[in-house]
Structure 1
Amino acid sequence: MLDGPAFDYIAGAAGRELTAAANTAAFERWGLVYRVLRDDSLTDPSLTLLGTPMSLPVLLAPAGVADLAHPEGERAAARAAAETGVTMVLSAGTSSSMEEVADAAPQGHRWFQLAWSGDEKLARSLLARAQAAGYEAVMLMGDCYRAGWRPREMDSGFSPFRRGHGIGNYVSDPRFCELAGLDAPGLGFREDPVRLEAVVSTWDRVLTKPALRPRDLAVLRSWTDLPIAVKGVCRPEEAKQLVDAGADAIVVSNHGGRQLDSGVAALDCLAPVVAAVDGKAPVLFDSGVRTGTDVLVALALGASAVMIGRPWLYGLAIGGQAGVEHVLRCLGAEFTDALTLAGHRRCDTLTRDDLVPLGTPGTGI
């Protein structure tokens, strides 16, 4: 179970948490229209995205420091995802290394979130390791180049990264160890104040590249042949620029409201981004998804798939691998029921016609 500071870190958001609240409230502004006299025997919620087969249009979002929720952290989540046919997007900020997560569920499908390091050799090393460990796509973290103002975290005085959580991918990397002045992978570094300070200060210094532009995707493309998705896109013009620059997919997200307060709900950004991309690349959605019907709404607004973050962390905290599996099975069952009741057998036939905006005068079915 989560103690107070750990819960506040995971559940908290930026500022007054208005953006986080807007994310979930946005789904309440859409009503689903169900259909009658349908054949539900052939409903199939599976799909293939960027070459990765998926049982559901749902992925585990990259969520850092999962060991705050459960000692097995991302390894337990990876096993749960593999058992349910769901793809896991591994955060850059993991408790375990990417290789340990891959070994925990070798039969599963995994993508890797890249925080583009300010040290080129480290960035290239992380990418090479991900590809060698069987990760099938790269998700570039575009929305966390500066940490948001998070009062809950500050009130508790608890900063997990400062205590050495979430640095598993780094202390297992030869280049990072070189930068931190470690003569071997930094296992056990939390127990040594000197090593801990060397690791944390180096991580803080090289975590992200100071400046990134859409044209930099060409550099990333030269380092890997994995598909590249860019996460954190909310503006249509930026989505178009990124696709034109070579992005294979776009992820509409505001980081679950953890970065910028008083922000627009991510769901309100989805349809304009889909229109701007104009079918040239799949658009994924993240931020505020809590139920199977939320998934249906996002897909009807043009998303190819969604990601969930806090829900799987809460499941992990309550029941470890079994808790994450329970979250995914419930979400999948509710989504499949809703898909059928809306008159569809496949995810890709949902459209805006399946929705009615609520609270608009004169709206009818």
Structure 2
Amino acid sequence: MSNLKRQFPDISELVNLMKFKLPAADRRAARLSKTADIWDLRSIAKRRTPTAAFDYVDGAAGREITATRARQVFDNVELLPRILHGTAQADLSTQIAGAPSALPFGIAPTGFTRFMHSEGEIGGSKAAEQAGIPFSLSTMGTRSIEEVAQAAPGARKWFQLYLWKDREKSAGLVNRAAAAGYDTLLVTVDTPVAGQRHRDTRNGMKIPPELTLKTVLDASYRPEWWFNFLTTDSLKFASLSNTSADLPTIINSMFDPSLDFDDLKWIRELWKGKLFVKGILTAEDAAKAKAAGADGLVVSNHGGRQLDRAPIAFEALSEVRAEVGEDMEIIMDSGIMSGSDIVAALCAGADFVLIGRAYLYGLMSGGQAGVSRAIELLAKEVEVAMQLMGAASIGELNESLIRRRK
């Protein structure tokens, strides 16, 4: 300390350093502006969303081994930098399912979305429209095919189909989606029965939600969520029955575990747009889906929410790609929480990525504005990673730019 020469503070310099600001009037915008990544959005979502709704998003099947391993696998992927590569800018645009996307990722289909935040699919589709990326509506969505189409007329809209036991109703959904301008059908094939999601069981989650002393107390210190729930239209699946039940009961009573590849061929004949089969994890199933007429595949383990100990989607990419070749488009979902994860998936063989939990954490943290923030954060992470890796376009991302640590 004896080496320091002391002096009186310069008042003018202190004044210049003082940047006191009044609290922003728009608390949502102020809250979101301070987030640095999707994990920050998740923290906000957990504070502001009732436990049952948050756990529905955050949880997975069984002991959640698959969901945990998915994160470990991504964390073990190294992105290899290339120095002095002259990459001043990175073009994040790409083509998928026959049309452009401003970014190499879109929004995955999610069920019961208005339970997370009352803006639900409307907020998500509008955010996707603004970002120039596809939005996928689930059969188990809480806004109808037509409502989403009307809310975001300029968005690329995809429809995710679960096949019901009632084939006539399935056909009706497909025809409605086509009439409303949805250009791609995602046929989900990994849900013949409901996965065992223990968090939902422990929380006593039902659809529509039932008001019990426990749920009221849990929501009482989340006033915005509670106010939105009470002052908007009733929460229900837009395409399903109004029966109140737990999710496994609804799935097991309405969906068909006897489905086979002949049913997929039937859908192929019915749907004239692009058709992707969602839930592929093996070369064998990839080959069968291709033979049944699929235009593309979604390599996915349903975010670990169906079969616990299932293969990890990222690890399955190379096997599936080797089976179907370079000409068939492959989308990957499950486990994506950062732009680096997206870049890793694209390097590993995916043409495009879907975000599920990451999107919903944004929705829970701030409605449409939160979804837009999630998209913004992921896009910036992709851009910076590409610049540091010397990749000027999505097409330059390949296996040579990653290293898989054991």
The answer to whether the 8 A contact 2:313-2:334 is kept is: yes
What amino acid does structure 2 have at the position aligned with 1:293?
A: S
Q: Map residues 6-155 of structure 1 onto 2, 5 A cutoff.
A: 6-155=53-202
What amino acid does structure 2 have at the position aligned with 1:102?
A: A
Q: Map residues 318-333 of structure 1 onto 2, 5 A cutoff.
A: 318-333=365-380
Measure how far apart 1:244 and its partner are.
Answer: 1.8
Aligned pair in 2 of structure 1 residues 245, 314: CA closer, same or farther (>3 Å)?
A: same
Answer with 104-113 or 217-226: which moved more.
Answer: 217-226
Aligned pair in 2 of structure 1 residues 358, 93: CA closer, same or farther (>3 Å)?
A: same
Q: Which residue of 1 aligns with 2:290?
A: 243
Aligned pair in 2 of structure 1 residues 215, 348: CA closer, same or farther (>3 Å)?
A: farther
Measure how far apart 1:170 and its partner are.
Answer: 3.4
Provide Cα deviations, 1:10-56, integer angstroms capped at 9, x if missing partner.
11111111111011111122111111123334421111111121011
Does residue 341 in structure 1 map to residue 388 in structure 2? yes
What amino acid does structure 1 have at the position aligned with 2:382?
A: F
Structure 1 Cα separation of the partners of residues 88 and 53 of structure 2: 44
Structure 2 Cα separation of the partners of residues 269 and 160 of structure 1: 33
Structure 1 Cα separation of the partners of residues 106 and 366 of structure 2: 19
Structure 2 Cα separation of the partners of residues 273 and 329 of structure 1: 30
RMSD of aligned C-alpha atoms?
2.1
Aligned pair in 2 of structure 1 residues 111, 103: CA closer, same or farther (>3 Å)?
A: same
The answer to whether the 8 A contact 1:61-1:307 is kept is: yes
Q: Which residue of 2 aligns with 1:169?
A: 239
Larger radius of gyration: 2
Measure how far apart 1:329 and its partner are.
Answer: 0.7
Number of aligned positions between the proteins:
335
Structure 2 Cα separation of the partners of residues 222 and 356 of structure 1: 41
Measure how far apart 1:276 and its partner are.
Answer: 0.9
The answer to whether the 8 A contact 2:161-2:186 is kept is: yes
Structure 2 Cα separation of the partners of residues 145 and 159 of structure 1: 20
Aligned pair in 2 of structure 1 residues 169, 21: CA closer, same or farther (>3 Å)?
A: same
Structure 2 Cα separation of the partners of residues 47 and 277 of structure 1: 20
**Structure 2 gaps, min length 5:** 1-47, 211-233
Structure 2 Cα separation of the partners of residues 24 and 344 of structure 1: 24
What amino acid does structure 2 have at the position aligned with 1:251?
A: V
Q: Which residue of 2 aligns with 1:260?
A: 307
The answer to whether the 8 A contact 1:20-1:256 is kept is: yes
The answer to whether the 8 A contact 2:208-2:244 is kept is: no
What amino acid does structure 2 have at the position aligned with 1:167?
A: F
Q: Which residue of 2 aligns with 1:177?
A: none
Aligned pair in 2 of structure 1 residues 249, 319: CA closer, same or farther (>3 Å)?
A: same
**Structure 1 gaps, min length 5:** 172-188, 190-195, 360-365
Residue 353 of structure 2: SS of its match in structure 1?
strand
Structure 2 Cα separation of the partners of residues 205 and 350 of structure 1: 41
Structure 1 Cα separation of the partners of residues 240 and 180 of structure 2: 15
Measure how far apart 1:205 and its partner are.
Answer: 6.9
TM-score by length of 1: 0.87
Measure how far apart 1:279 and its partner are.
Answer: 2.0
